[in-house]
Amino acid sequence: MALFLDLAKLTEGADAIDNGQILNLGVMPTVPYEALDGYLVIDLSDRLAGSFCAKTLGLYGSEVVKIEPLEGDPLRKLDHTEDETDESDSPLFLHLNVGKKSLTLNLDTAEGKEILGILLQKADILVETFIPGKLASVGFSYEGIAKHNPGLIMTSITPFGQTGPYKEFKYTELTVFAMSGAMHREGLPERYPLRYGAEVAQYYAGNSAAAATTSAIFRRLKTNVGDWIDISIQECMAGHPHQIGRRAPFIYSGELDPRTQPRVSAAGAREPYAVGTFRCRDGHVSFLPLGPRMWPNIARMIGREDLMYDSRFNDPDKRSFNRKALEDIFQSWLDKRTREEIFIEVQKAGVPGSPILRSDEVMENEQFESRGFFTEVDHPTSGTLKYTGDPFRLTAVPYKKLMPAPTVGQQTNQVLKDHLQLSSEDIASLKEKGIV
């Protein structure tokens, strides 16, 4: 969508001079920076949250070595339920493993464990997602590793954390989201509760884990001492602003927060008329005008200043009472306009609102395009695709090219040579024995 309100002030290129601020901003490739250069991350995670945590550490310059079983991470074949012969990697795998190196390792063998042990002595960060106790049972307890490598930061990400009665529970995005408190209020009162639209709980926890990990690295700069971080996906989501904001009224006053009609509940029912998601000419638009001070903005936006003096609508209680009539007027304004036109109007009027975009429309959106957020990466089997870039830009840090997700064991030789100083013959013998 072409939505320029302020063409003249559009920044051009890097080193934009912007209101007297000289910032290294503008259109630049969104590729990894070298802020965490030199840190070695061992990624022993399965599934989404741990893998995303390791990936983000890599985006900012860490060397991430992903340890895979000889047959590869099962996430590679996520989409192969119907076609077993398909050799391509799943979109989820490609996204989660951008920039990583792949080392295949058979951890059921003594030599495999020995190689892992040596890597962990050299590592700065270990990201792992085993069922609590599992890693210790195969000889890699935190205490054991820390004895040889006291600076190691071990980031453990599990659905329910390292302790407590649910610690061994099996999970999916759906079941852990259900147990976070986020689901019960989502959806319509007369129907079943709903989850969100993507795998957001796992991503959110993985991102929280990355933030905790960098905090621990910061402390290590001064103390030289590592740490063991216990991240529970359930707790991350249960301790999320949506949930703590809604739990507080319950504990303060006993107020419950059941599923209600989205249009009524969204703004605390204070100005419940232009609130929620509405149909327009070419799709849908979401609105959330907060409080009565938004009312004149909306009346002006829809060209109906007369409504401000209309006896049905001239105070907040009347607007609540006559919500349906007001919504009908609002809807008829929306019906004549496209999402693009409405987005321009809401920005002019100062009303919080935004078009609902499909994934293909997001990729064509000129805001993200102007910032070069989607970045082309070449992958040996999946070809050239546009990937999401980095979640924030460090303007003082140099950047380098984004590397594609590795093929199975792609950097096995390199990692064994670089970090274990093994010779080509050693590696060949390990391969023969089915260890790497």
Partner 1 sequence: MSKEKVSSIPGFPLEGVRAIELSEIWAGPFCGTLLADMGAELLKVESVQRIARGPVNPPKRSGAYPNGDPGERPWNRQSNFNAMNRNKKGITLDLKTDAGVETFLDLTSTADIIFCNYARSVMEDFGLGYEELKKTKPDIIFMLMPGYGNTGPYRDYRSMGMAIDAISGHSFLRGYPDLDHSTNSLVHHPDAAAAVNAVFALTTALIYRGRTGKGQFIDMSQAESFMTHMGEIFLEYQIRSKPRERQGNRDFHYAPQGVYPCKGDDNWIAISVVTEAHWKSFIRCIPLPNLRDGKFSSVKSRIANHDELDLTIEKWTSDRDRYEVMDTLQSSGIPSGVVLNCGPDTYGDPHLNEREFFQIVDHPDAGIFPMTGPVLKFQSNSGVVLHNPSPCLGQHNDYVLGDILGYTQEKMDDLASDNVIGTVPLPGSDLGGSRRASMEPVHRESMSQQTNIDPNTNDSKED
**Which positions from 182 through 241 interact with partner 1, judged by CB under 8 A?**
182-188, 191-200, 203-204, 207-208, 210-212, 214-219, 221-222, 225, 227-232, 234-236, 238-241
Instruction: Point out which span in 118-126, 357-365, 409-417, 428-436 binds partner 1 (CB under 8 A).
Output: 357-365
Residues numbered 382-401 forming contacts with partner 1, rule: CB under 8 A: 382, 385-397
Tell me the torsion sign for CA atoms 327, 333, 338, 342.
negative
Report how far residue 274's alpha carbon sits from residue 326's, in angstroms, rounded to the nearest whole number. Answer: 8
Q: 106, 141, 265, 413: which one contacts partner 1 (CB under 8 A)?
A: 265
Inter-residue contact 26 to 108 (CB < 8 Å)? no
Q: 82, 306, 425, 432: which one contacts partner 1 (CB under 8 A)?
A: 82
Inter-residue contact 140 to 133 (CB < 8 Å)? no
Under the binding rule (CB under 8 A), the answer on residue 366 touching partner 1 is yes
In terms of CB distance, is 112 or 206 closer to partner 1? 206
Q: 29, 164, 303, 434: which one contacts partner 1 (CB under 8 A)?
A: 164
In terms of CB distance, is 276 or 409 closer to partner 1? 276
In terms of CB distance, is 254 or 421 closer to partner 1? 254
Under the binding rule (CB under 8 A), the answer on residue 17 touching partner 1 is no
Least distance to partner 1, CB of residue 368, Å: 7
Q: 15, 35, 131, 403: which one contacts partner 1 (CB under 8 A)?
A: 35
Instruction: Point out which span in 92-100, 102-110, 119-127, 414-422 binds partner 1 (CB under 8 A).
Output: 92-100
In terms of CB distance, is 344 or 420 closer to partner 1? 344
Q: Is 28 helix (H, G, I), strand (E, B) or coil?
A: coil
Are β-strands 125-128 and 153-158 bridged in parallel, bridged antiparallel, or unpaired? parallel
Tell me the torsion sign for CA atoms 388, 390, 392, 398.
negative
Inter-residue contact 94 to 405 (CB < 8 Å)? yes
Q: 130, 273, 374, 399: which one contacts partner 1 (CB under 8 A)?
A: 374
Extract the runs of DSSP E, i.e. beta strands, from 6-62.
17-18, 21-22, 40-44
Report how far residue 310's alpha carbon sits from residue 131's, in angstroms, rounded to the nearest whole number. Answer: 63
Residues numbered 274-293 forming contacts with partner 1, rule: CB under 8 A: 275-279, 283-286, 288, 290-293
Report how far residue 349's alpha carbon sits from residue 249's, in angstroms, rounded to the nearest whole number. Answer: 32
Inter-residue contact 203 to 48 (CB < 8 Å)? yes
Q: 117, 132, 144, 262: which one contacts partner 1 (CB under 8 A)?
A: 262
Instruction: Point out which span in 65-73, 121-129, 363-371, 414-422 binds partner 1 (CB under 8 A).
Output: 363-371
Under the binding rule (CB under 8 A), the answer on residue 180 touching partner 1 is yes
DSSP assigned state of 163: S
Q: Which residues pair with 232 in a beta bridge?
A: 158
If you write DSSP's letter for every residue of 243-266 in order, what string do you get? Answer: HHHHHHHHHHH--------HHHHT
Q: 109, 322, 338, 365: which one contacts partner 1 (CB under 8 A)?
A: 365
Name the amino acid, one letter, at 329: I
Report how far residue 411's alpha carbon sits from residue 40's, in angstroms, rounded to the nearest whole number. Answer: 14
Least distance to partner 1, CB of residue 239, Å: 4
Under the binding rule (CB under 8 A), the answer on residue 130 touching partner 1 is no
In terms of CB distance, is 171 or 416 closer to partner 1? 171
146: Cα within 13 Å, side-chain hemisphere: 14
Residues numbered 300-319 forming contacts with partner 1, rule: CB under 8 A: 300, 315-317
Instruction: Point out which span in 118-126, 128-136, 345-353, 414-422 binds partner 1 (CB under 8 A).
Output: 345-353
Which ranges of 84-232 would DSSP assign to H, the alpha helix?
Answer: 91-96, 110-122, 134-137, 142-148, 173-178, 200-223
Inter-residue contact 257 to 313 (CB < 8 Å)? no
Q: 15, 70, 72, 95: which one contacts partner 1 (CB under 8 A)?
A: 95
Least distance to partner 1, CB of residue 111, Å: 30
